[in-house]
Structure 1
Amino acid sequence: MSFVQFLRVLSKNLKWLILFPVLIAILVYFLTGKLPREYQSATTVYTGIASGYGITSSEDAPRADYFSINNAFDNLLATVTARQTMEDVAVKLLAQHLLLEMPDPLILGEKSFAELKNTITDERALMVVPGNFAATVDKITKYKNSSTDNIVVKLLSDPKGHYSLGVISKNLTASRKSSSDFIDLTYKSDDPGVCLNTLKFITEVFIDKYKTLKGAETVNVLKWFEARLKDAAAELNNSENKLKDFGIRNKIINYYEQAKAVAIENETNETDYYKELMMYEASKRAVARLEDQLESREILLRNNAELNRLRKELGIAHEEYERAKIYSNSPEKVAKLATKVDALKQEIRLWVLQYYSLNNTIESVPMNVVLENWLKEVIAMDGSEARLQVYIDRRKEFDRKYNEFSPLNMQVSRLEREISVAERQYLEILHGYHLAKLRQQNIEMSNNLQVMDNPVFPTKPLASKRLLLVILSFLASFFFLLVYFIAKELLDSSIKNTARAEELTGLKIFSALPNRMSATNSLQIGRIENTLLDYAVSNLKIELENNPQTSTNYLITVISSREMEGKSYAAQKLAEKLYNLDYSVLYISNDDNMEDAETDDRRFRTLRYDITSRLFSAKTEENLLPEFSRVNRNSFNFIIVEIPAISINALPNQLIRNSRLSLLVVDARRSWTAADENIMKLFRKAAGEENKIMLWLNHVEPEDLENMVGAMPKAKKSQARPALKQEEVDADEETA
């Protein structure tokens, strides 16, 4: 919508845009005459959310982001306005009022006290514990929860009243003060005492609830950690007990140390074994060499039973002695076995020296020296043999231990891995538990909400909103009505003006006629209509000049697609205008209200015809009336024939084709439909190329005719119309 159209809508409906809002404002003024006076009290609460200090706070800790802070404030304000908060406040307020024996201006005024006394009569005794506020609150709560249809439930759900949840929520305003740590709470009521105490209860209840909610966040977490910590400790103990039982069954104190000790001992045993084996081989070769020197005495020595007995005992003593040394027996036993070995060695030595005489060998070596050496080597060989046997037994024992320890390695690793996993899990859960405890303590310290400005008793009521309501009602009704008229204009699908008519129909405008029903007295409709008829005659003359003809008269058919389009009025006005311009005119119509008539100078004649079959077969106007033969058609410059509505009557094709100009009269107040388009297609086929069809728009609003007649003429000139006209001219120039 252009600005010009907006101004037209405004001026067209100006009286309604003024009258209706004024009436609404007057109505609101009288309806608000008995509005109750309201009192207001306020309080400020410090939260410490943005800049508060807690256990986890530090100088180097990153500052909280705005999103987290805003989220915390949103949670806090949601707690303030929560339904449960409102319900607790209403119950406490009711308990305070029921404990009153008489009105108290600081708690409940006389009017409100009387209303409460009339509302609660018999039930008061069931809910009140005299002198005990907390017990009274508990009894009211239990009474409220006892059923869904009791006086307390009704008071809380009542759309009016001091205890209504809706009223408390509506009259409460909670907001953060700029970007600070403070929140402002304000409450309004028609009773100053109720206003003060309601705000006190709201502050008290929401602080307790917020602390409880924040504490509950970590309580559930702590319970979960405690349960998981208990399970993890049991699992760890179970794993450790498995390893302990495994060590007891397999006689293991420290598997890795024991395995290491076995390996070291085995390696030492192998080293000692091979050393002893070398010593044994050396002694064996020495004995063989010495026996070669002793020759035949060697045989005697070998076959001597006593010597063999002593050697056998010495070998056994050597083996016992070596075992005692290796297996770390008591020092007394080792010393005793060493003494026994030395004694046997000495006994063998003495026996050999006494048994044989002292002489020389064949190498001139004294025999006693050879025997001494032989005895020494034999004793050494027997000792080595005994030690070798001990080492061999030790090797077998180590093999047995290896067979026992090898399978245990995987089991010990698995048990230790199980303990390690359980231990790590236990430590992780313990760490989480400590963090949760730390957060719980931090929340308790950082969420210490404090009331900075206590609510005060309001002594003066707020300014009345009566004037504001009157102004708002006037503006609201004005804009509502304006929007209605604008929407009506935008949604109006009627043809309205000549430009839209040409666009919809595809026909050139012949002329237009104003809507006389909607015109005001100030508009000179007659002058406008006369101007438009002059416009129509001008178009008609242009057609005569552009299309000259040999005949002396000019046949014009006036048609419409529907009834009640105003074609009779338009045709008659055109005929009268042509007559006034000194043309002779014959006007033929089927209008029932028209009678045959003729002027004194016989230059203007009207004839009426009936709709019969002759109309649809007529080729010229002569075929319409029987008496027409008495009229000399050549004596008329213009012959205007009105055709019935095409939508309900058959079309006289020949008559239409023989006419020079067809004027389609259309009502601007209606819409152009697909049916109209189909009728136009049919009419174009009937008219042919010789007959020109033009559009005559009827019932056009006067303001939509300014593009044809200029500024609307009035009895008194208006300053607004030239301005509107200038705006339209400017708009047309921009469009062009």
Structure 2
Amino acid sequence: MNIIFFIRLLQKHMLILVITPIMMAGLVFFLTQNQPSKFVSQTKIYTGIATGSSIVSLEESKFDLFGTRTAFDNLINLIKSKTTIEEVGLKLFTQHMLLDEAKQDVILRKHYNELMAIVPDEVKDLVVKNNFEKTYHNFLQYKKENHSNFVNELINLNHRHYSSKKILSKVKVSRVQSSDMVEIKYESDDPGICSGTLKLLNEVFVKVYSDIKVNQSDAVVRYFQKEIEGARASLNGAEEELVEFNRNHNIINYYEQTKHIASEKEHFDLMYTQILMDHVAAESVLKVLESKMSESEKRRINSDEMIALRDSLSNVNYQISMKISRSEIFGELNDDETEKLNRLKTKAGELTQYLRKNVEKQFDLDNSIEGLTGSSILEQWLQKMIEFESSQAQLEVGKLITKEFEDLFETYAPLGAKMKRLERKIDVAERKYLSMLNSLNTAKLKQQNIELNSNLKIVAEPFFPIEAEPSKRKFLLIIAFMVGGIIPTFIILALEFLDSSIKTVRRAEDKTGLKVAAMFPKNLNKNDKLDHEFINGRSLDVIARKLTLLNHTEEKGKVHKILIYSNLKGEGKTYLSSLLFEKFEQFGLKTLFVTPHDIEAPIGCTCINYQVKPNFNRLSSIQDILNDAVNMNDFDYVFVELPAIISNAYPLRWFKEADNSLLVLRANRAWAEADSNSLKDIELVSEGKRSQIILNGVELTEMESVLGDLPKKRSWFRRGIKNILRLRFFTNANIL
């Protein structure tokens, strides 16, 4: 197959390829002759989604490709949502119903009259003159009453101006390249409705978009406000619990108080240790001094009077030590306490002097030699005894204070843990409160930011289209004409490739497994430009030449028996056999034609007709079918035609006897499995002499492979185009 094959194939069906496009174009022309004019308006809205400023960061928003695409998709889907479009349709209907008459910039008179004709009176009664909101509210309530009223059907069915389906099908929403702009286009058969619908769409979707954004941020702010109230109550409760705790335990500043108590305890421990050391030292010295006294001296210092004085002095010193110790620990004494302390010190001094005089009175050995030593010992004893009694009193006081410190520590120790727990509770509540407060501030900033960015800016208002859009009728006609040509062409080519007919020599040899000896053209469609008589004659010459060549090696004087058969009836074997018979007679060869059909032989030709009898398949020789008056050996060629071998019994031995067997095969039929099976028996008995095919009814174009260019009148232009398609650029008709 080459390009010439395809051109000839299309040329063969030229009538269909011409009529079909014309019919398609005519049909489209008829259907579009009353096509209404189309008006288009558009508007552009600045969104600020990708590059808008933010009061949160005081800078331009960061560019997030995925987030920006999502935001634009949300916006576009909101514009094209059913709720938005239904509201636009109902508001457009309300706008038109408020008119007393048609206005060119709102609705054409033709469309206004059509609307008034279909609106029922009960809907007209809902109109409140010069009040758009009230009328719209009435229509909206009427629409919600049931699903089968006029307004509901008008908005939800197929009215070309108010139906949500129709409006949505004519609205085109797209982002302008990679900018922050959104472009909305709308198409209508009325210029006023076209621009009016876009204006209402802008109004509705901007409000809906803003409400959605603000409602989202309001919900967040309300949530944090509620959480802050709870956090504040928790914080106040924790603080009140700490105040009550301090009040119950007389705590001003727990940590400073415990620090002060620990410091005073440390100071007291040092002081107490020093007193204890002084007490032990005084006691030790007293023991040494008493060991140096005589028994009489010991009796004197242990007399009842001396013991009473010592007890009195010890008691006074105890009181003094108590007051001094408490003043050192708990601060300065007031005036009364100071006065009492001074009186006690005076009394202690008096008791000391009295004790000293009493000791001196008890001893009268001052002037003796021993008296001098004894007086000195008594003086030392008296001094150490006073120190001992003083330290003894201080130790008693120290024990009491130590007990007080222990009680104080026992009280403050668990208070510390409780204080920590309360402080942690306050800290947690405070951090929660501050966190919620910070989140609320952030939410309010975002709320303001959303309110700022949700105010979409209409940078290009919808315009009133003055001129209608160019009609697409020419384009549709061209498309229809092209489709009318392409579809038949595709069908023709598809049928050609899917056709299982034999058609060509290559297919015949591939399907049958036999060689094609010759072809004979189909002559049903006479073409005045072709010389069919010449073509048929040349085809017969080729067949005759092939048969002559097949038998040129045989002995001279021997008869050549050629068996002609076909698998089915109507293959053309009788017609071809008679033509070959005549052709061989013209060659001057004595030819015998044996056929089962009743035909008249040309004058001077020998033709024998036989009948197919029941024993026909058992005949062993071709001579058996001839009458006694005819001898095959008297002829050069004997052509024997067999009936269709699939539907008739036939003598297989004849294939062994024949010099050649020719299978006449019609080119315009398919090769079936029955055809292949019919040849198997012949191959078994033919002893290697395989049949050859004469392909009958071949297209004239296929004959060029045997006969070359067919004799036909062609213009120089057609000859040139044909040579170009066959890549024969320098081919000439002769040597000159």
| TM-score (norm: length of structure 1) | 0.83
**Matched residue, 1:310:** 312
Distance 2:705 2:220 in 1: 81
**Matched residue, 1:484:** 491
Task: Please report how far the alpha carbon of residue 233 of structure 1 lies from its aligned counterpart in structure 2 after TM superposition.
Answer: 5.0
Residues 1:727 and 1:353: Cα distance change in structure 2 (over 3 Å): same
The answer to whether the Cα contact below 8 Å between 1:597 and 1:606 also exists between their aligned partners in 2 is: no
Residues 1:309 and 1:184: Cα distance change in structure 2 (over 3 Å): closer
Task: Please report how far the alpha carbon of residue 715 of structure 1 lies from its aligned counterpart in structure 2 after TM superposition.
Answer: 4.4
Residues 1:206 and 1:496: Cα distance change in structure 2 (over 3 Å): farther
Aligned length: 718
The answer to whether the Cα contact below 8 Å between 2:92 and 2:200 also exists between their aligned partners in 1 is: yes
Amino acid at match of 2:315: E
SS of the residue corresponding to residue 458 of structure 2 reads strand
Residues 1:716 and 1:730: Cα distance change in structure 2 (over 3 Å): closer
The answer to whether the Cα contact below 8 Å between 2:282 and 2:387 also exists between their aligned partners in 1 is: yes
Given the alignment of the two structures, is residue 544 of structure 1 paired with residue 545 of structure 2, yes or no? Answer: no
**Matched residue, 1:693:** 691
The answer to whether the Cα contact below 8 Å between 1:294 and 1:361 also exists between their aligned partners in 2 is: no
Match for residue 389 of structure 1 among 383, 399, 405: 399
Amino acid at match of 1:621: I
Residues 1:656 and 1:174: Cα distance change in structure 2 (over 3 Å): same
The answer to whether the Cα contact below 8 Å between 1:90 and 1:164 also exists between their aligned partners in 2 is: yes
**Matched residue, 1:328:** 330
Match for residue 353 of structure 2 among 345, 350, 353: 350
Residues 1:147 and 1:635: Cα distance change in structure 2 (over 3 Å): farther
The answer to whether the Cα contact below 8 Å between 1:22 and 1:474 also exists between their aligned partners in 2 is: yes
Task: Please report how far the alpha carbon of residue 727 of structure 1 lies from its aligned counterpart in structure 2 after TM superposition.
Answer: 3.4
Task: Please report how far the alpha carbon of residue 328 of structure 1 lies from its aligned counterpart in structure 2 after TM superposition.
Answer: 1.1
Amino acid at match of 1:369: E
Task: Please report how far the alpha carbon of residue 367 of structure 1 lies from its aligned counterpart in structure 2 after TM superposition.
Answer: 4.1
Amino acid at match of 1:379: E
**Matched residue, 2:518:** 511
SS of the residue corresponding to residue 551 of structure 2 reads helix
Distance 1:57 1:690 in 2: 99
**Matched residue, 1:734:** none
Distance 2:318 2:640 in 1: 163
Amino acid at match of 2:358: Y
Amino acid at match of 1:353: R
Distance 1:610 1:198 in 2: 90
Given the alignment of the two structures, is residue 610 of structure 1 paired with residue 612 of structure 2, yes or no? Answer: yes
Residues 1:230 and 1:4: Cα distance change in structure 2 (over 3 Å): farther
Q: Any residues of structure 2 matched to 1:157-556 within 5 Å, and which?
A: 157-230=156-229, 263-294=262-293, 296=295, 297-298=297-298, 300-302=300-302, 304=304, 305-310=307-312, 312-314=314-316, 316-317=318-319, 320-321=322-323, 324-325=326-327, 328=330, 331-332=333-334, 335=338, 338-339=341-342, 342-343=345-346, 345-357=348-360, 358=363, 359=366, 363=373, 366-390=376-400, 392-394=402-404, 396-397=406-407, 400-401=410-411, 404=414, 409=417, 423-517=430-524, 522-544=529-551, 552-556=559-563
Residues 1:16 and 1:391: Cα distance change in structure 2 (over 3 Å): same
Distance 2:437 2:674 in 1: 86
Given the alignment of the two structures, is residue 601 of structure 1 paired with residue 601 of structure 2, yes or no? Answer: no
SS of the residue corresponding to residue 378 of structure 1 reads helix
**Matched residue, 1:27:** 27
Task: Please report how far the alpha carbon of residue 138 of structure 1 lies from its aligned counterpart in structure 2 after TM superposition.
Answer: 1.4
Q: Deviations over 1:598-647 (max 9, x none)?
A: 44434x525344263532x4444345x3x455432223444444455555
Question: Larger deviation: 237-246 or 114-123?
Answer: 237-246
Given the alignment of the two structures, is residue 621 of structure 1 paired with residue 612 of structure 2, yes or no? Answer: no
| TM-score (norm: length of structure 2) | 0.83
> Percent identity, aligned pairs only?
28
Residues 1:414 and 1:695: Cα distance change in structure 2 (over 3 Å): farther
The answer to whether the Cα contact below 8 Å between 2:592 and 2:638 also exists between their aligned partners in 1 is: yes
Q: Deviations over 1:45-91 (max 9, x none)?
A: 444445544424655x5652555545544444433333333222221
SS of the residue corresponding to residue 607 of structure 2 reads strand
SS of the residue corresponding to residue 514 of structure 2 reads coil
Distance 1:526 1:612 in 2: 41
SS of the residue corresponding to residue 554 of structure 1 reads strand
The answer to whether the Cα contact below 8 Å between 1:162 and 1:168 also exists between their aligned partners in 2 is: yes
Distance 1:613 1:418 in 2: 124
**Matched residue, 2:63:** 64
**Matched residue, 2:119:** 120
Distance 1:139 1:123 in 2: 11
Residues 1:340 and 1:598: Cα distance change in structure 2 (over 3 Å): same
SS of the residue corresponding to residue 19 of structure 1 reads helix
Distance 2:4 2:642 in 1: 38
Task: Please report how far the alpha carbon of residue 331 of structure 1 lies from its aligned counterpart in structure 2 after TM superposition.
Answer: 0.8
Distance 2:529 2:199 in 1: 67
Question: Larger deviation: 190-199 or 421-430?
Answer: 421-430
Residues 1:244 and 1:563: Cα distance change in structure 2 (over 3 Å): farther
Larger Rg: 2
**Matched residue, 2:80:** 81
Q: Deviations over 1:683-733 (max 9, x none)?
A: 4752555221334444444344443443344344574466446535789xx
Distance 1:316 1:550 in 2: 179
**Matched residue, 2:734:** none
The answer to whether the Cα contact below 8 Å between 2:591 and 2:635 also exists between their aligned partners in 1 is: yes
The answer to whether the Cα contact below 8 Å between 2:322 and 2:394 also exists between their aligned partners in 1 is: no
**Matched residue, 1:634:** 633
Q: Deviations over 1:347-394 (max 9, x none)?
A: 442343233235467856624521332223312431342244135414
Give me the CA root mean square deviation: 4.0
Distance 1:232 1:672 in 2: 95
Distance 1:2 1:222 in 2: 78
The answer to whether the Cα contact below 8 Å between 2:564 and 2:577 also exists between their aligned partners in 1 is: no
Distance 1:662 1:10 in 2: 37
Distance 2:585 2:55 in 1: 107
**Matched residue, 1:130:** 129
Residues 1:275 and 1:202: Cα distance change in structure 2 (over 3 Å): same
Distance 1:363 1:647 in 2: 177
**Matched residue, 1:108:** 107
Residues 1:496 and 1:140: Cα distance change in structure 2 (over 3 Å): farther
The answer to whether the Cα contact below 8 Å between 2:313 and 2:352 also exists between their aligned partners in 1 is: no
The answer to whether the Cα contact below 8 Å between 1:557 and 1:640 also exists between their aligned partners in 2 is: yes
SS of the residue corresponding to residue 37 of structure 1 reads coil
Q: Any residues of structure 2 matched to 1:648-727 within 5 Å, and which?
A: 648=647, 652-672=651-671, 682-683=680-681, 685-687=683-685, 689-717=687-715, 719-720=717-718, 723-724=721-722, 727=725
Residues 1:565 and 1:128: Cα distance change in structure 2 (over 3 Å): farther
Task: Please report how far the alpha carbon of residue 136 of structure 1 lies from its aligned counterpart in structure 2 after TM superposition.
Answer: 1.1
Amino acid at match of 2:622: E
Residues 1:438 and 1:284: Cα distance change in structure 2 (over 3 Å): same
Task: Please report how far the alpha carbon of residue 228 of structure 1 lies from its aligned counterpart in structure 2 after TM superposition.
Answer: 4.9
Distance 1:534 1:325 in 2: 157
The answer to whether the Cα contact below 8 Å between 1:128 and 1:136 also exists between their aligned partners in 2 is: yes
Residues 1:614 and 1:263: Cα distance change in structure 2 (over 3 Å): farther
